[in-house]
């Protein structure tokens, strides 16, 4: 699939409004001498239709940042703006409104579904969340079949099944089908491919790219594998100890890295065209 086909990201001029941005976003766990700064004054601008990757190793603060972006964790300091306005998630109602705009796919597809709900119920819930509760059943079935078709699953084979009857790759695809129905403005994908094999991984990545191209959704992709970031992203943020050490277009950051940390991350990934230097750890 050609990544430049379909949706063209908005011009990143001075006037283009980012759909999600943050200034001085910080999160501290604990107090006093035991305080740990997990995310340390980070600034970011994620634009509409952009495929952004946040790359860092375990413990660099990627997941803490993603939880703050989702509003699951409060921000100790700094401000997050959503569609040009400061984000307000102070009440339950406001939070629900915010989640209409931002959704997530997590690492473990098995824990993302309610084991007691059949797959049709999961998908019907998504339609209801977008205000389609009163649509005729015929129309709902059509929508569900379309969403399953988008991720190469057959809806007829899924009806009356429970999530645990599917493989990891199929479940992760079903997560994408949910997102396809929910149509949020922003999708946050936190290591969506780390628990599935390399073969299904390429399918998932191509589906995420397709989703962006067809719907113009902003995708924030969180990973520790810089190779995946290079394959998918328009821009990349490299995170070390809670700070962004480098950011820019995927091409510049990964093929011509400036920060020492980025160079190390790249050298840690096994390659096939260049020799892999094991002496650097």
Partner 1 sequence: MGKTILEVRDLCTKYITRSHEDVYAVDHVSLSLEEGKSLGIAGESGCGKSTLALSLMGYYFPPLHYSSGEIIIDGRSITGMDPDTVRKTILGTEIAYIPQAAMNALNPTQRVIRFVEDVVRAHRPGTGKKEIYDMACARFAELGLPPEVLEKHSVELSGGMKQRTVIAISTILSPKVLIADEPSSALDVTSQKMVIKMLRSLMEKGYIKGMIFITHELPLLYNVTDDIMVMYAGQIVERNSARGMVFSPLHPYSKGLMGSIIVPEEGVREQKLTSIPGTPPNLKHPPRGCRFAERCAYVVPSCRHNEIPMLELEGGHTYRCGHSAQHLREMYQDEQK
- Residues in the site for partner 1, rule: CB under 8 A? 1, 3, 57-58, 152, 167-169, 196-203, 205-206, 224-231, 250-251, 254-255, 264-266, 268-274, 276, 278, 280-281
How far apart are CB 168 and partner 1 at their closest, in Å? 7
Listed residue (193, 181, 218) closest to 17, CA to CA:
218
Q: Which is nearer to partner 1, 37 or 226 (CB)?
A: 226
How far apart are CB 7 and partner 1 at their closest, in Å? 18
How far apart are CB 121 and partner 1 at their closest, in Å? 24
How far apart are CB 280 and partner 1 at their closest, in Å? 8
Question: Measured at the alpha carbon of residue 228, what is the angle toward residues 17 and 38, in degrees to the nearest 5?
Answer: 65
Q: Which is nearer to partner 1, 4 or 115 (CB)?
A: 4
How far apart are CB 261 and partner 1 at their closest, in Å? 11
CA distances from 177 to 65, 149, 150, 233 (A): 25, 8, 7, 21
Q: Which is nearer to partner 1, 18 or 56 (CB)?
A: 56
How far apart are CB 173 and partner 1 at their closest, in Å? 11
Half-sphere exposure of 13 (CA within 13 A, CB side): 3
How far apart are CB 57 and partner 1 at their closest, in Å? 5
């Amino acid at each position: 699939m050609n990544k430049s086909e379909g949706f063209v990201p908005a011009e990143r001029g001075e006037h283009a409004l980012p759909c999600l941005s943050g200034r001085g976003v910080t999160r501290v766990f604990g107090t006093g001498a035991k305080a740990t700064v997990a995310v340390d004054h980070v600034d970011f601008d994620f634009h509409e239709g952009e495929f952004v990757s946040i790359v860092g190793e375990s413990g660099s603060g990627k997941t803490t940042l993603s939880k703050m972006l989702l509003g699951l964790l409060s921000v100790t300091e700094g401000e997050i703006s959503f569609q040009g306005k400061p984000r307000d998630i102070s009440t339950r109602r406001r939070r629900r409104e915010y989640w209409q705009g931002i959704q997530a796919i997590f690492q473990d597809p098995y824990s993302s579904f309610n084991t007691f709900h059949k797959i049709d119920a999961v998908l019907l819930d998504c339609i209801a969340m977008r205000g389609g509760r009163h649509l005729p059943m015929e129309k709902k079935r059509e929508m569900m079949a379309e969403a399953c078709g988008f991720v190469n699953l057959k809806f007829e084979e899924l009806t009356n099944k429970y999530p645990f009857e599917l493989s990891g790759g199929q479940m992760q695809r079903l997560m994408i089908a949910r997102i396809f129905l929910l149509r949020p403005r922003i999708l946050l994908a936190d290591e969506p491919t780390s628990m599935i094999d390399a073969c299904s991984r390429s399918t998932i990545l191509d589906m995420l790219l397709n989703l962006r191209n067809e719907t113009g959704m902003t995708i924030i992709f969180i990973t520790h594998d810089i190779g995946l970031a290079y394959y998918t992203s328009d821009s990349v943020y490299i995170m070390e100890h809670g700070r962004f050490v480098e950011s820019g277009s995927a091409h510049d950051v990964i093929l011509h890295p400036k920060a020492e940390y980025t160079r190390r991350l790249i050298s840690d990934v096994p390659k096939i065209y260049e020799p892999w230097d094991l002496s650097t750890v």
